[in-house]
Structure 1
Amino acid sequence: SEVYNYLITNHGIAMIFFFLMPVLIGGFGNYLLPLFLLLENLLLPRLNSLSLWIMFPSLCYMELSLYGGAGIGWTFYPPLSLVNTVGSGVDYLMFSLHLAGMSSLVGSINFITTIISSIDFKTSVIIWSYLFTSILLLLSLPVLAAGITMILFDRNFGTAFFEPAGGGDPVLFQHLFWFFGHPEVYVLILPGFGIVSHICMSLSNNNSSFGYYGLLCAMASILVLGSVVWAHHMFMVGLDAKTAIFFSSVTMIIGIPTGIK
């Protein structure tokens, strides 16, 4: 009766962590960064290799979660992901996410060091988009790692970070998850933005037509504002009026640089 939930959970995780991120960021990034920065390879090739090989055990753990049963959705909200879910599937899924996150972190460090060592203010907007994407990953992934580690501790070691009966708060996990989840939206779209902007500039043969520095400032604004709008995914949990007004306002403001980009 839970097979549909298992498949939907793994489909969501697979599309984000094992398709979009490896292809858009890892794949295109490894191809485009040396090409535009005129390098033979990225600055830290061993880290690059590590970020690839970590994905394979991560994928294995995710497949094991199908057999153990992890019908908790791609957001894995507690209390559904805690005591109500029997079996080892959720634990395998958390291990899988830890490894996938480690892969992305290692790749981000490699991208940032490579770009900073070679970039100038005439570099293609693609390179800037990968720099901002990597910074977003570096800021948000450790928060997700903390949240899923707390889930593992609640499930296996008797803690009560998110268990109301023990004084925990399930809403805390939503804050931790969406602090990662909303920047993840921009992580997935910024490389695409950069590629489209580069194509437009190349076809027009004139950087000023589309405002090179305007695009850079727009991406920098998305980086900053995208990190402080996460709770607009949580209006139904009972946020107080001032908090709701703040996140609503910032959400409207971030539409400006997004529209410019």
Structure 2
Amino acid sequence: QGNNKATSKLNYVITIHGVTMIFFFLMTELIGGFGNYLLPILLGLADLNLPRLNALSAWLILPASLCLSLSMFMGSGTGWTFYPPLSGGDYSSGHGADFMMFSLHLAGVSSILSSLNFICTIYSGMDSLTVFRQSIIVWAYLFTSILLIISLPVLAAGITMLLFDRNFGSTFFDPLGGGDPVLFQHLFWFFGHPEVYVLILPAFGIISHICLSFSNNDSLSGYLGLV
């Protein structure tokens, strides 16, 4: 029994660490935070084009963080990938997993709203004469936003189906009812593989801009290829 409790606590720690670092640190700080600060400066604008949408995306992080905190106290050892059947009702019967999935929904909506705002701002700040003279950071955030808008709804669909399995008796991922747990893995990694580029592209853009500034060059070597 003691070993089972220790294993459960380890699963809780691994789950909360993965979700917090990816969805509530890297995505909110590296993409949302730095994007809000850098894009208006680099595009010569006073602010992002949709400030109210920007405020809504920021405020959504608060209830998302609250749901994440509640899941910490209730316990959720599903792992940050939420693979069924471990994340199903039979193996994770508490409400901790539900609150964690709600937190991902809210964080995902926040990221989608930020991405829409970034795309609108970049589109309005660029013109045909300066499009290939913009900082590589601008291009990095443009492609990052496009990837998020494409991939996040698929993750939201998978989590919603999992919530229905847990709370409403559906069998999307239950083999006993004709479902397939591997389906969730396909849905999750449709988001997970682009997420690698989502997290690394802004960092590439920032590092490239720093190297350009410290080298005192007018243009980045291999600019078009890097874009």
Q: Normalization by structure 1: what TM-score?
A: 0.80
CA–CA separation in structure 2 for the residues paired with 1:76 and 1:114: 34
In structure 1, what residue type is equivalent to 2:101?
M
CA–CA separation in structure 1 for the residues paired with 2:34 and 2:72: 29
Using the TM superposition, give the Cα deviation of residue 68 of structure 1 relative to its aligned residue in structure 2, in angstroms: 2.1
In structure 1, what residue type is equivalent to 2:157?
A
Identify the match of residue 71 of structure 1 among 62, 74, 77: 77
- Is 1:140 aligned with 2:159? no
Deviations 1:161-185 (A, max 9, x none): 1001111001110000001011111
2:21 counterpart residue number: 15
CA–CA separation in structure 2 for the residues paired with 1:194 and 1:67: 38
1:207 counterpart residue number: 219
CA–CA separation in structure 2 for the residues paired with 1:5 and 1:196: 35
Deviations 1:76-96 (A, max 9, x none): 100000021111111111101
1:57 counterpart residue number: 63
CA–CA separation in structure 1 for the residues paired with 2:145 and 2:57: 13
1:166 counterpart residue number: 177
Q: CA RMSD in A?
A: 1.0
CA–CA separation in structure 2 for the residues paired with 1:4 and 1:63: 17
The answer to which structure, 1 or 2, has the higher relative contact order (CA under 8 A, 6+ apart) is 2
- Is 1:5 aligned with 2:17? no
2:116 counterpart residue number: 109
Identify the match of residue 31 of structure 2 among 18, 21, 25: 25
Unmatched 5+ stretches in structure 1: 217-261
Q: Normalization by structure 2: what TM-score?
A: 0.92
1:118 counterpart residue number: 125
1:250 counterpart residue number: none
Show structure 1 runs of 4+ deviating over 3 A. none
CA–CA separation in structure 2 for the residues paired with 1:66 and 1:206: 49
Unmatched 5+ stretches in structure 2: none
Deviations 1:176-203 (A, max 9, x none): 0001011111111000111112223332
Q: Report % sequence identity.
A: 66
Using the TM superposition, give the Cα deviation of residue 206 of structure 1 relative to its aligned residue in structure 2, in angstroms: 3.8
